[in-house]
Chains A and B, each alone.
Chain A
C-alpha cells in the first residue's frame, strides 16, 4: 500500500488535507458551507469543458471555480446570498452537462471528476498541487487578521477600514484556488465535506483559535489517510470514506461538545 503509485496518492492527499483543514477553518467560521459546496460543483463544468477541448483539467477547474466564485460574490452583494449561490452553481453545472453531452467516452472521467480518483494520480501532478496548496496557505496567512475580524464583527471591521466586500471576494477566490487543487483528489462533490467536517469537529475540542486550526488539519489528515487505506483495501471509492469520515468526526465533535456543556452547566454563571 505504501509503494509505487500509491506514494503519489499519499503525498497529494496529504497536501490536500492540510489545505482543506486550514481553509475550512475560515469557511466554517464565516458560515460559508454553501459556497464551499457550490464553487467546486460549478468548477465541474470547467473540467468537462477542458476535457472536451483537450486542455488541462487543472486550468478548466481554475477558470470556472474563480469565475463562479466572483459571480457568487457579486450577485450576493445585495442580500439573498443563498439564492445567488444556488443559481450560479446550477447554471455552471448545466453548462457542464452540456459539455458532457458533446463527448462520447465520458463515464469514468465523469465519475472520477465528481467523486475523486486519488489512486490514479500521476507523479507529475504532485508539483502543481503542492504549489497551489502553498499559494492557498500563503493567501490565508496574509489575510488571516482582517479576515478574522471581518468574519466575526463585520461592523467593527468596516470601522477599521476593512471592507467586508473585499474580504468576501478575496476569501471566495481562495476557496476557488482550494477547489482547483483538491478536486482531482477528492472530487467536486466531496471536497467540501472535508473542508467543513474537520473544522466543525475541531471546534468542539478547544476554545483557542490556533489550536482549533491545527486540530482541523490533523482531523483532515486522519480522514484522508483512513480513506485512502480503506479504498485501497476494499476498492470502494475514496469519496465514500471521506464523506463518511467527515460525518463521523462531526458527530464525535458534537457529542463531546454536549458532554462538555453538561459538565460545566453546574457551575454558577458569571454575571
Chain B
C-alpha cells in the first residue's frame, strides 16, 4: 500500500475523504467527508451509535476504513505513520486512574512530551518549564503535585488535555469530553478549549451528542446521523432541510431561549438509537 498523498499544503490539517466502514455486515460509516483547516474548532455532533467513535478510530489509525481515505496536512515527516502520531493529540473519553498509582498530575503531563521514545529521559530545566507552561495553560497548577487517581473527573480531564497538548500537536482530538459533565463544567471545558485553539493555533475536533455547549465556539460542524455526515458552518448545517435529508425523515430545528432543539417529527420509523429525552410523539435529537 503506497503512502497516501499529503493534503494540500497548510490549507488543511485533516481531510476525511469518502470514508466508509463496514463491520460484520453493518455499515457504520457511509462516505463521510469533511476537512479541517489549521486552528479551526470543529464539533462532531451525533447521537450515541451514530458512528463518532468509529470515525475517531479511523482518523487515529486504529481502525481500517473499508473505503475512502484520511489525509493529513502539516509538516512532512520521513514516516507517514509517525506524522499522524505527531500531529494529533488525543484525549479519550474514558480514563480510570487507580488512586494507588504513584503518579502526580505533573508526571502524567511530562509523560506526554515524548512517551513514544525509548530510553530514560534526562531531567532538564526545559522539560520542567514546558510542563509548568502546560499546567498553566489548562489551569491545573493547583493540583499539579496531587496524585492523578485522587483528582476529580474534571481535573483529570484537564490533566489529560495538558498531556495531549505538550506534544505540540496541530490537531487536538477529544472523544466526548462533555459527556459526564454538568452544564457549568461543560461550558468551562469548552471555553478552555476555545482559548487554547485561539492562542496556540491548534485545530480542535471534539465529538459530542449535545450541540448547545459548542454553539458559541464552533467554526464548523460535522453532523453525523446513522453513519452519514454533513459538514459546514452552523448556519449551513443546522437547518431543517439539510438535517431532514440527512436523517431521511422530517426534522424541525427550533430556537428556544438561545438554544437549539433539533426535533424529529412524529413518524413511524424513528430508528434513532441512544437518545436522551424521548418524547412520546416526537423526539429531541440534539
Contact = CB atoms under 8 A, between A and B. Distances in A.
B119 A207 contact: no
Given A145-B111, A207-B104, A152 B97 contact: yes
Interface string B34-65: 00000000000000000000000000111000
A37 interface: no
Contacts of A262: none
A145 B85 contact: no
Interface string A124-168: 000000000000000001111110110011011111111000000
B116 interface: yes
A158 B92 CA distance: 11
A200 B98 CA distance: 13
Nearest to A200: B100
B115 A160 contact: yes
A270 B159 CA distance: 14
B279 interface: no
Interface string A62-106: 000000000000000000000000000000000000000000000
Contacts of B116: 145-146, 149, 160-162
B65 to A, nearest CB: 17
Contacts of A29: 101
B182 to A, nearest CB: 11
A251 interface: no
Interface string A208-235: 1101100000000000000000000000
B102 interface: yes
A208 B107 contact: yes
Contacts of A160: 85, 90, 115-116
A15 to B, nearest CB: 20
Given A161-B81, A203-B101, A208-B107, A153 B118 contact: no
Interface in A240-271: 257, 269-271
Interface residues of A, number: 33
Interface string A1-13: 0000000000000
B92 A156 contact: yes
A237 B156 CA distance: 46
Contacts of A155: 90, 92
A202 interface: yes
A159 B60 contact: yes
A217 to B, nearest CB: 14
A208 B62 contact: no
A206 interface: yes
B114 interface: yes
Nearest to B100: A203
Nearest to A158: B62
Given A159-B173, A208-B107, 8 more contacts: A141-B119, A148-B115, A152-B103, A156-B163, A161-B61, A207-B145, A208-B104, A209-B102
Shortest 5 CB-CB contacts between residues of A and residues of B: A212-B102, A159-B90, A149-B115, A155-B92, A161-B85
27 contacts: A144-B120, A145-B111, A145-B114, A145-B117, A148-B111, A153-B92, A153-B95, A155-B90, A156-B92, A159-B85, A160-B85, A160-B90, A160-B115, A161-B85, A162-B115, A200-B100, A204-B100, A207-B103, A207-B104, A207-B146, A208-B102, A208-B107, A209-B103, A209-B107, A257-B100, A270-B155, A271-B155
